[in-house]
Structure 1
Amino acid sequence: MKKIRFIIDSTFGIAPEYLEKYQILVNPLNVIVDGVSYLDGVEIQVKDVMEYVAQGKKVTTSQPSPGSYKLLYDRAFNEGADYVICLTISSLLSGTVHSAATAREMHSRKEDIFVHDTLAVNIEAAMLLETGIEAMEQGKHPAEIIEIIKKNKPESGVLLNLVTLDNLLYSGRVSRMKAFIGNLLHVKPVVLYKDAKVMILKKFRSEKKVYHYFVEYCQHLQKKHQGRIRLRLSHVNAIDRVNRLYEVLSEGLPGVKIEMGMEITPLMAIYIAYGGIAVAWIFERD
């Protein structure tokens, strides 16, 4: 069987043991603080990012360079790969896929490199990666693996709850006045990221109503897919909140597989902030 190596970016938030098991290579995005660049998850962590934001420092992000992708392609082939599959964060959130594609065009073995824009982020992208790994283990060709990932994308998404509107203001999703009023009222928005679009679905003041809405939304997904969904949870320094979410989802969706994922990555934490919780889902296929 031909050897395939996967390359992902740092926003996927994959557990180190999973990376090691499948020899997955990771290309970090950049977190830029007052003009100084740090490698996401390598030179800067969630705690650092949140402290810089709280201090009022200018915190921005940038994609990896094409050169960094070329080095990873070289490494994969030098270590015996026959093919490389490179999956990236959604192109609507980052230009990472363009760097990966540019590096592919520069490479002497570009026909053996498959670059794919997941149109997903973090725990959702991680779940799509896992469908690709499963297909690889079944002996599928890289082109078939990409098609399987594409097929799963329409039935995946992420639901988030933020404890402040500041980060939606930061990303341009709400106006400064709405964020100010919302924060005064302690509004907790529920945000949907699906089909490469970000939408504010609801705004709650009660923590109990937030959890109830998460359960209702996931019950709708369960009914739509006849129970064949898998959920994964994540958070930004909100272990108590995400544990409570796990409890209410487990009670409200008996029989559904619910997993606890890694904490949301430093770069993504910029847009979610401390206290944020998330659930991603994917359709379980035969």
Structure 2
Amino acid sequence: MKKIAILTDSNCGISPQEGKEQGIYILPMPVIIQEQIFYEGYEINEQQFYERLQNGNSVTTSQPSAGVVMESWERLLEHYGEVVYIPMSSSLSGSCQTAQLLAEEERFRGRVHVVDNHRISVTQAQSVYDAKRMAKQGYSGEMIRKTLEKEAMNATIYITVDSLTYLKKGGRITTAASLLGTALNLKPILTIQGGKLDAYAKCRGMKTAFKKMCQALDAELEERFYDLYKQGRLKAGIASTWMEPEKLAMFRQELKEHYPDMECIYMPLTMSIGAHIGPGGLGIGLVGVHAEK
């Protein structure tokens, strides 16, 4: 039986150390600060990143270079028969499409399987964990890819931001809307369904936004996630950008109390997201778990 390596990118929220402990390989995403490239989790940590962001440094994001991706595959193929690569959703970045093209090269064809299951953060991390379990159960790389893509839509995410400053900087809202929203303490809620980011609602204050997001999850739980919930194959997830530990602990506890019969998992939101929404951002979601054989 061919050994299978599971490779993902740091957008899933799994740290390099956690990945090492679990036998999962993490490709760090590059962030560009004042025209200098840093690799998430290796050359810059969360605190350093958000300090620079809040100090007004120019921050942009990028996908891993083709060379970095192929070098990662080549190193893994020296020790494994196949590689399953799970990058962030193709709807949010071009990195997945680039990897799919690279995987068509003769040296990688049939050995590297690029998964586009339209996920990011906690939901992407669950795909990685599912892939790891399937590899242990004897699935081939191609079977893992097909399964993850088939189950891609068993996930939903809602995100709110603490400050409108970074959405304004990124051109996602106007200066006037930012000023008005800040004055009224408005918190926009965004939703990710199948990788696509859309506006969902606006609330006054983070606590109200959190309750609104929980209500949105409840509605989905009663409909499209009901069967997964009844089968015990549904998890609740929470993720955040840089936030006061006490505030994050409060939200984590509230989500756990809201869904007492579900496992609640936490992941930090990647710097690729933090660059666009700033510190204090909060996301919650539901994600299905692949059934055991």
TM-score normalised by length of structure 2: 0.88
Match of 1:251 in 2: 257
Match of 2:269 in 1: 264
Cα offset, 1:87, TM superposition: 1.2
Cα offset, 1:82, TM superposition: 0.8
Cα offset, 1:197, TM superposition: 1.5
- SS of 1:177 mapped into structure 2: helix
Match of 1:97 in 2: 96
Instruction: Report the Cα distance in structure 2 between the residues aligned to 1:22 and 1:113, rounded to whole angstroms.
Output: 20
Residue 55 (1) aligns with residue 55 (2): yes
Match of 1:77 in 2: 77
Match of 2:220 in 1: 221
- SS of 1:153 mapped into structure 2: coil
Residue 235 (1) aligns with residue 234 (2): no
- Give 2:70's aligned amino acid: K
Match of 1:46 in 2: 46
Instruction: Report the Cα distance in structure 2 between the residues aligned to 1:33 and 1:20, rounded to whole angstroms.
Output: 27
Match of 1:160 in 2: 159
Instruction: Report the Cα distance in structure 2 between the residues aligned to 1:36 and 1:61, rounded to whole angstroms.
Output: 11
169-178 or 138-147: bigger deviation: 169-178
Aligned CA RMSD, in angstroms, stands at: 2.1
132-141 or 16-25: bigger deviation: 16-25
The answer for unaligned runs of 5 or more in structure 2 is: none
Instruction: Give 1:184-195 correspondences, 5 Å limit.
Output: 184-195=183-194
State the Cα deviation string for residues 20-74 of structure 1 (Å, max 9, x = none).
Answer: 2443222222111121111122112222222222232221111111111121111
Cα offset, 1:121, TM superposition: 1.5
Count, aligned residues: 284
The answer for unaligned runs of 5 or more in structure 1 is: none
Cα offset, 1:102, TM superposition: 4.2
- SS of 1:111 mapped into structure 2: coil
Residue 135 (1) aligns with residue 134 (2): yes
TM-score normalised by length of structure 1: 0.90
Residue 282 (1) aligns with residue 287 (2): yes
Relative to structure 1, the CA distance from residue 172 to residue 74 in structure 2 (aligned partners, 3 Å threshold; closer, same or farther) is: same
Instruction: Report the Cα distance in structure 2 between the residues aligned to 1:264 and 1:17, rounded to whole angstroms.
Output: 16
State the Cα deviation string for residues 204-247 of structure 1 (Å, max 9, x = none).
Answer: 11343223213212222332223342112121222333322222
1:215–1:248 Cα contact (<8 Å) kept: no
1:65–1:99 Cα contact (<8 Å) kept: no
- SS of 1:86 mapped into structure 2: strand
- SS of 1:117 mapped into structure 2: coil
Cα offset, 1:105, TM superposition: 3.5
% identical aligned pairs: 21
Match of 1:273 in 2: 278
- SS of 2:38 mapped into structure 1: strand
